[in-house]
Structure 1
Amino acid sequence: MFPDLTRDDVFRIETRRLWLRWPMARDADAIARLAGDPAVARRTSVIPTPLPQHEAESFVLRARAGNAAGEGLVMALCRRASPGHAVGIIGIESRPETDAPTDAPHLGYWLGRPCWGEGLMREAAEAMVEAFFAYAGGRSLASSVMLDNPASRRILEACGFVPDGRGAFFSVARGETVAADSFRLDRAGWLDRRGRSAGGSA
């Protein structure tokens, strides 16, 4: 899915306030603590609360293996001033186990609660969308958001995603099936949005 450029752990994406880099073993503590926060985990499908340390360590190993194989791109979010300290995770991966109405790769993310309200995840999501379409030549990208998570919906809409149906998925942290909206961004929509942004800044 992703090219050789992204398959080395020196690869990173820099934005105005963030470094997006490969997850490292030393990130496991922060991942367990931040992602295992009930306020964060309940907004995801697969993260339990609490999140055991060994599961965070296993996640890092799987993410690095997937990145190296080009099967996806999972990145740790770090403030530029503290590139060694992860505050969230964002990734694009295949999601064959989901009931989403598309087989497109899936954009997923979470951000530690201390960083909420700063617009950091929107900044990271825009950078990952750009990487998918510009570096990887992607054709279509999917995502989903629980109905009770308007902040995540705003992030997707800001990146150009459009609604693509309604469904549900099981949330491990909630222990129940949760209604969710699916979203999609295709290459034509990305190019159109990119062109309008460039025109607006000329």
Structure 2
Amino acid sequence: MTARSIPHAFIQTARLLLRPTSAPDAERAFEIQSDWNVTRMLSNATYPPGRQDIESWFSSHGQEWVDGTAYRFAIEQAGRMIGVVDVDGISGVEGSLGYWLEKSAWGKAYAFEAAQALIGFVFHEAGLTRLESGHASDNPASGRVLTKLGFARIDTRELFSRSRRETIIQCCYMLEKECTHPSL
């Protein structure tokens, strides 16, 4: 069975529930991305966030799932959406891992827990075998999450950050399915 045939997949971890995002999540996402400390780390988001842009983005998630181009999950902790973890840009057996959480959820290993669960899903249910990811060079905490997940740093590149409205240095990482821990 492929992930394309599982449009309502839920993933339970020790502390979190990951569920496919839906249009109503846009309001909560708008609240989270209204925090400059969160949005400045997102290269494709704008600051201040545009409510219509976020609503439009969330309304496209179901079709992305059906098309197999992205799997986006709301991260819930104690029944509250605290962020998003996703794999997008899927082409063939490769995709790009991303995640963002509200500031009050930082430093609690939620990003690691959610990303680890999603990696297991895309490697075992969706048939992907390779993931890329990256973080702004001034966000070393995200680099530690990626390294702990088994990603290898492969390069740096210049990338235009829409939120910061400037070019930043992005640290780039890669993870191959055969290099992952069996729990992934």
TM-score, length-scaled by structure 2: 0.92
Contact 1:36 1:48 (8 Å CA) reproduced: no
Higher helix proportion, which one?
A: 1
Take 1:50 and 1:162, find their aligned partners in 2: how far apart are those partners?
A: 33
CA-to-aligned-CA distance 1:43-96 (integer Å, 9 cap, x gap) = 0111111112211211111122101222220111111x31xx321011101178
2:86 partner SS: strand
Say which of 39, 42, 58 aligns to 1:41: 39
After TM superposition, list the pairs within 5 Å mapping 1:95-174 onto structure 2.
104-174=94-164
Take 1:45 and 1:4, find their aligned partners in 2: how far apart are those partners?
A: 27
Contact 2:72 2:86 (8 Å CA) reproduced: yes
Identity value in percent:
29
Structure 1, gaps ≥5 residues long: 97-102
One-letter amino acid matched to 1:106: S
Take 2:166 and 2:101, find their aligned partners in 1: how far apart are those partners?
A: 22
1:136 partner SS: coil
Take 1:4 and 1:174, find their aligned partners in 2: how far apart are those partners?
A: 35
Say which of 86, 95, 107 aligns to 1:91: 86
Report runs of 4+ in structure 1 exceeding 4 Å deviation. Answer: none
Higher strand proportion, which one?
A: 2
One-letter amino acid matched to 2:149: C
TM-score, length-scaled by structure 1: 0.84
Take 1:111 and 1:74, find their aligned partners in 2: how far apart are those partners?
A: 13
Q: For this pair of structures, how many residues does the alignment match?
A: 182
Alpha-carbon offset, residue 18 of structure 1:
0.7
Take 1:62 and 1:36, find their aligned partners in 2: how far apart are those partners?
A: 21
Contact 2:26 2:54 (8 Å CA) reproduced: yes
One-letter amino acid matched to 1:140: R
Q: Tell me the C-alpha RMSD between the 2 structures.
A: 1.9
CA-to-aligned-CA distance 1:143-169 (integer Å, 9 cap, x gap) = 011111011001101110001111121
One-letter amino acid matched to 2:156: R
